[in-house]
């Protein structure tokens, strides 16, 4: 893969992503824009304003900025999916942005570039095999399959595994825990390298394995010559 891609892990109202505003290449946000952590002293109002800035950035750069959906976007599609931190106050505004005809197309579940799959939490083989019949294989890319099924069958993307308080063996691509990916004996697609967030890491270094890179530690990264590196401004 020739081009560099700037990667923005889980935001949750933080401002670490702001250098992306000056980046001129392709950018992928891995989801989770709102619902800040209280210990970080970021309010729901601050997170919402940061979300608006991200949405505006996408509107201004529709062809080179990708906004992925995280598990923290799900409750703003429908309150039924609320299972944790959630802003009742900002639900109407965020719901409108995610679902209104003029803005809903700004968001997608995943982005595939070459053999790299950008997705919030990661696709496990167990989850993919369990729902295999829901995916249409006729000429569609993996990105097209997953994005299409998400908007048609959103319920299966709320499935959580044992590490996240659910009943399934593994969670969906929005809920899969890093330990679930590690527990599996083989990846869901051996030729795919997943770039994910979701499982917050307090250390400064990402976790890079054979079939995935987990980057949720409040830093920007760049995919450069097929390698994931910290982005230095």
Span 170-193, mean pLDDT?
A: 94
pLDDT at 195 (0 to 100):
98
Q: Using 50, 70 and 90 to split pLDDT, how confident is the model at 44?
A: very high
**Residues 90 and 44: beta-carbon distance below 8 Å:** yes
pLDDT digits (tens, 9 = 90+) for 103-160: 999 999 999 999 999 999 999 999 999 998 888 775 688 899 999 999 999 999 999 9
Q: State the Cα angle at 117 between 80 and 84, rounded to 5°.
A: 25
CB 32 within 8 A of CB 73: yes
Residue 161 DSSP label: B
- pLDDT band, residue 5 (cuts 50/70/90): very high
* Ranges of each domain in the chain: 5-230
Fold of 5-230: Purple Acid Phosphatase; chain A, domain 2 (3.60.21)
Label residue 233 by pLDDT band (50, 70, 90).
confident
Q: What is the pLDDT of residue 134?
A: 85
**Total count of residues recorded for the chain:** 233
User: Which pLDDT does position 178 carry in this prediction?
Assistant: 94
Helical ranges in 100-213 per DSSP H = 125-130, 142-152, 178-183
**1 pLDDT more than 90:** no
Which residue matches tokens 């295999």? 132
Which pLDDT does position 204 carry in this prediction?
A: 86
Q: What is the pLDDT of residues 67-108, one digit of tens each?
A: 999 999 999 999 988 878 899 999 999 999 999 999 999 999
Q: Does 204 or 111 have the greater pLDDT score?
A: 111
Q: What is the pLDDT of residues 50-66, one digit of tens each?
A: 999 999 999 999 999 99
């Amino acid at each position: 893969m020739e081009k560099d891609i700037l990667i923005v892990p889980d935001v949750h109202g933080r401002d670490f992503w702001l250098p992306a505003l000056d980046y001129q290449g392709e950018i992928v946000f891995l989801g989770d824009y709102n619902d800040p952590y209280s210990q970080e002293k970021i309010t729901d109002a601050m997170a919402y304003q940061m979300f608006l800035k991200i949405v505006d950035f996408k509107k201004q750069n529709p062809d080179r900025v990708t906004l992925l959906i995280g598990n923290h976007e799900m409750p703003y599609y429908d309150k039924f999916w609320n299972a944790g931190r959630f802003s009742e106050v900002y639900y109407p505004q965020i719901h409108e942005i995610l679902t209104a005809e003029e803005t809903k197309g700004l968001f997608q579940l995943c982005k595939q570039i070459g053999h790299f799959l950008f997705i919030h939490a990661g696709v496990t083989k167990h989850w993919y095999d369990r729902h295999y019949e829901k995916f249409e294989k006729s000429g569609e890319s993996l990105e097209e399959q997953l994005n299409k099924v998400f908007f048609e069958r959103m319920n299966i993307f709320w499935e959580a595994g044992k590490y996240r308080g659910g009943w399934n063996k593994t969670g969906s691509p929005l809920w899969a825990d890093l330990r679930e990916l590690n527990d599996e004996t083989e990846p869901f697609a051996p030729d795919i390298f997943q770039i994910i967030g979701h499982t917050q890491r307090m250390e400064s270094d990402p976790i890079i394995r054979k079939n995935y890179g987990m980057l949720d530690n409040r830093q920007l990264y760049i995919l450069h010559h097929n390698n994931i590196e910290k982005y230095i401004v």
